[in-house]
Structure 1
Amino acid sequence: MKRNLKEFGASLVNPNYAPIGVKVAIVVGSILFIINHGTTLIKGKMNQERWISATISYLVPYMVCVYGQHTSSAKHKSDES
């Protein structure tokens, strides 16, 4: 379990996974941002808590995408051996 977490942590900055993760984060994160914070942003009522939540709206899709890539890659490597 500990090894898997370390591998996943390393995969978050893996240059093979990051480009797709960033693209997914921009698209999905922007959709989530608009849904969850669009009205508040337009009204000029964003506060620190909202900005933290908005940041998470981008981080979660990135992490999910990288996790999927990491899991798929690990599965393919185990299938090859």
Structure 2
Amino acid sequence: MGSILFNPRFAPTALKVALFVGTILFLINHGKAFFNGQMDPDRWISAGLSYCVPYMVNIHGQFISNTRKRP
């Protein structure tokens, strides 16, 4: 499974999605705290997940789509 997360076929698209969607999620969930200088370690962990989750969801979607196309 680990090799799928960094597969050169899937990773570039997943990175783009993670940056776009993750930034939107970060701003929605942590924007006020970030701009007010109120980010603590727990918020930074949560903020990191704002990027990790879209990355993993996209990798999963690409993998499932790719495996279903094969007979």
TM-score tier, shorter chain, comes to over 0.9
What is the match of residue 29 of structure 1?
Answer: 22
Partner of 2:45 in structure 1? Answer: 52
Gaps spanning 5+ residues in structure 2: where?
A: none
CA RMSD, aligned part only?
0.7
In the superposition, the TM-score normalised over structure 1's length comes to 0.85
C-alpha separation in 2, matches of 1:20 and 1:67: 12
Give the TM-score taking structure 2 as reference length.
0.96
Highest CA radius of gyration, 1 or 2? 1
Q: Deviating runs (4+, > 6 A) in structure 1?
A: none
- C-alpha displacement of 1:52: 0.2
- Paired with 1:38 and 1:46, the residues of 2 have a C-alpha distance of 10
Q: Distance in 1 between matches of 2:48 and 2:35?
A: 17
Q: CA deviation at 1:45?
A: 0.5
The secondary structure found in structure 2 opposite 1:20 is: helix
- What residue number does 1:43 align with? 36
Matched, 1:64 2:60: no
